Structure 1
Amino acid sequence: MPADARIALVTCAAFPDLWEDDHPVRDALRERGVAVDVVRWDDPDADWSAFDLTVIRSPWDYVPRRDQFVAWARGVPRLANPADIVAWNTDKRYLSELAAAGVPVIPTTFVGPGETWAPPSTGEWVVKPTVSAGSQDTARHALPAQRAEAGAHVSRLTGTGRTAMIQPYLSAVDTAGETAVLFLPDASGELTYSHAIRKGPMLRRTGEHEIDPGSEDITPRSATEAEIEVARQALAAVPGGAKRLLYARIDVIPGPAGTPLIVELELTEPSLFLSHVPGSGARLADAILARL
């Protein structure tokens, strides 16, 4: 570790001292003698060149300013995860690339500005923008009863220049829940399975869920071998290779056949649920030090 090592943990105005789930890594770094600054990504006075490493954690207000956020990432000299990953991963159209690579992802339809969408006749469907965080502008629609609402939701997104994505609502989330599979580097720098948590259902059939991390029903769980294997398949398809990543979160839900399907591959600013799994904050701190 360089003498007088200095790390920036990136946040936003809503969480000036980080989202509390990141306190374990902050504290573990300080216990190891590292100077840790918590800095807003859009702080005009921040000198990013002064840090040995800048680690993205909770900049969750970037969504309406994604272009500015990607430009910021490209201007940070030492950033984890890297800026090209930020650009790729902050638009969920990456799911189509994973699917093309043979990765088992939830079937997804994309509708861009100026395009039309014909809602299916039946089923439950989740509509959301391809650029979002914390389930912003996301809603669940039961068809045919909510056909008009679903169509209006898509039109509202595309009408403001955004791309909408439509996915089937996987009923297993109501029972098995969603599994977030977390990967951190091992001693050799290889990204390896670290821990997992279960997230309970969040979307009701009416209304939209706005960002509120504290509302999630989170409990620790052990990922199955099938879930870990699907996660590894997704990481193998990451542009430039997964070894560059400091962290990765892969969210999976059992599909109709019971096999896990990837809902999201989160490489930019995911909650890593460090406060739910003892030792995970220390592992991330050690991985950060290894990068130095």
Structure 2
Amino acid sequence: MSTNAGTAPARRAGRNLPVAIGMGLAMGAVLVASLFVRREAFLVLASAAVLYGTVEMVRAFRARHLRVPVLPPVAGTLAMLPGAYLGGGETLFVAYTLTVLAVVVYRLVSGGGDHGSPVPVPVVRDVAGGVFIVTYGPLLAGFAMLMLAAGDGPWRVLVFVLLVVASDIGGYAAGVLWGRHPMAPSVSPKKSWEGTAGSLVVGAVAGAVALPLALGGQWWEGVVLGLVTVVVAIGGDLSESMLKRDLGIKDMGTLLPGHGGVMDRLDSLLPAAPVVHLLLVWFVGP
């Protein structure tokens, strides 16, 4: 998710804004319905989204001639997210460890690499890419499933998503209105320090309101939760922007009109998931 806009008014929107807003509202409605009608529906929805995003990343890496295996990340996604929801953190860790091992074995068995070196550098590079994908996608998403599994799980997930969305909206609005000083022009030219300030303010307010209302926490805990979530969400967004710049692509995919690929919508949510999960356990209990 983009967290703020930049300095050039003509380029601030970056996408077809009405289409992006419409698609965002539709995705939000589906998410809320899946959470509160039956939480297993959200598990299926999240698993499908992360699975598709994982395949997007595999394709992007392969376009840069990394022979990243697709089967282990796909199987790992289907194991890690349901495993985290049904079996908790231990199951998530075991499934992740087995997936990483499968990436290594699958890539070694598939052959290739520099046979003149005792440690084939291309194979090491490909394995590192595969491990990155299963860590960035299904492992981080697994923490959202740990939130979902709690007694008040739907509300935890809703607060988590609302905080990231608040960061996005606050950053975009402040960036469009006041953005003058680029934050990281070499990575994401449209992000400004003014937009970041907007994200922090809106995120803190959203946390102060959402945590007491939804989960019975203290307002100041909500402020802390909101600020930390914004910082991590912005870091995740910048990290994916840097990755896409290195890969030479604008978006990870084209599935979502006005938004790009699925992973382009998860870039802020995924890094924030473990942080929000741990803070919620601290503030309101497991």
Under TM normalisation by the shorter chain, which class is it?
Answer: under 0.3
Looking at secondary structure, tell me which structure has more helix per residue: 2
Q: Report 1 or 2 for greater relative contact order, CA contacts < 8 Å, sequence distance ≥ 6.
A: 2
- TM-score for both structures, normalised by structure 1: 0.26
- TM-score for both structures, normalised by structure 2: 0.26
